[in-house]
Amino acid sequence: MLRRPRRNRQSAAIRQLVQETTLNVQDFIFPLFLTAGSNKKEEIKSMPNIFRFSADLLLEEIAACRDLGLLNFALFPHFQEELKDSIGSLSYQPDNMYLQAIRQIKQHFPEVSIITDVALDPYSSDGHDGIVQDGQILNDETLEVLGKMALAQAQAGATIVAPSDMMDGRVQHIRTVLDEQGFTNVAIMAYTAKYASAFYGPFRDALDSAPRHGDKKTYQMNPANVKEALIEADLDFFEGADFLMVKPALSYLDVIKTLADNYALPIAAYNVSGEYAMVKAAAQKGWLDNDKTMYEILLSIRRAGAKVILSYFAKEFAEGRKMGKF
């Protein structure tokens, strides 16, 4: 035998030497949930160890994460039902809780970047990402709201706006609005290939944002398709996106790979709530080893070609890294 691949696996030192993919704390974006009030830290039932924070405690959480080397946060708001309406108008009122919190964060931690979510669902009484009329999701009418929302977020201090709504033409519309108002430096992370997935369940629990009627299949992608992701990626690229995202991550590693092979933009992957919940549930039962499973999953997302990982595991990974675990 001239070829014995085991030679390169014989010790930890050699294994590390030939390791092709690595994980770095700075590759992560940590999603955080914001809720109204003060001194609130509510655990999300289907996401152990993930919380909805009021703004004051959110600042403390961000300080703790920053000390671990995490500098990028995707922030999602949880609004009370009474504040929602059919066009999500709360989303661009400059004094809303979300925009206020962004201002506070940027004041306290100018070095961190805040990635904001651009979509109607946290503000919509219909729980959809776009405006609903007679059971249809209106595309072009929704763009107007998305533009206003993205602008309000940029004005509040967002570093990156991340449209997760899957309306056609939204990247171009948002880019145009931002540029017209002088926010040429605010980047766009497009949810390029966002699939109509069952893995978003726990997130919708976190935000009480499940669609009241129907599903999201007329705008989010069909899990069966990958070529279609190239159409979405082409559009986002030429409409001015700075990052292309695939979401969820694990059932879509081939999509991550396809985009990474075909586009020079940094590819982000969203390791979503349901993917987190599965590991946590199995680990709580003693059926899976939490740390090893987490590490393997995160590694697989990077190996597939993601430069950036949005993950609820980000803080846990950063803590483990600090303790020399990973």
Residues marked as catalytic: 194, 247
Residue 273 engages ligand PBG in binding (rule: CB under 6 A): yes
Q: Contact region for ligand PBG (CB under 6 A) — 57-65, 84-92, 95-103, 200-208?
A: 200-208
Closest alpha carbon to 271 in 52, 21, 24, 29? 29
Count of chain residues binding ligand PBG (CB under 6 A): 11
C-alpha–C-alpha distance, residues 2 and 19, integer Å: 22
Site track 20-39 with ligand PBG (rule: CB under 6 A), x = hit: --------------------
Let me know if 233 is exposed, middle or buried by CB neighbors in 10 A (0-12, 13-18, 19+).
Answer: buried
Residue (196 or 282) nearer to ligand PBG, CB: 196
Q: Contact region for ligand PBG (CB under 6 A) — 21-29, 115-123, 231-239, 287-295?
A: 115-123
Residue 121 engages ligand PBG in binding (rule: CB under 6 A): yes
C-alpha–C-alpha distance, residues 21 and 304, integer Å: 10
CB atoms closer than 10 angstroms to residue 319:
16
Residue (56 or 223) nearer to ligand PBG, CB: 223
Closest alpha carbon to 159 in 178, 181, 180? 178
Residue (204 or 262) nearer to ligand PBG, CB: 204
Q: What is the nearest approach in angstroms of ligand PBG to the Cβ of residue 200?
A: 4
Grouping H, G, I as helix, E, B as strand and the rest as coil, residue 209 is: coil
CA 115 remoteness from chain centre: 8
Q: Give me the residues that bind ligand PBG (CB under 6 A), please.
A: 117, 119, 121, 129, 164, 200, 203-204, 216, 272-273
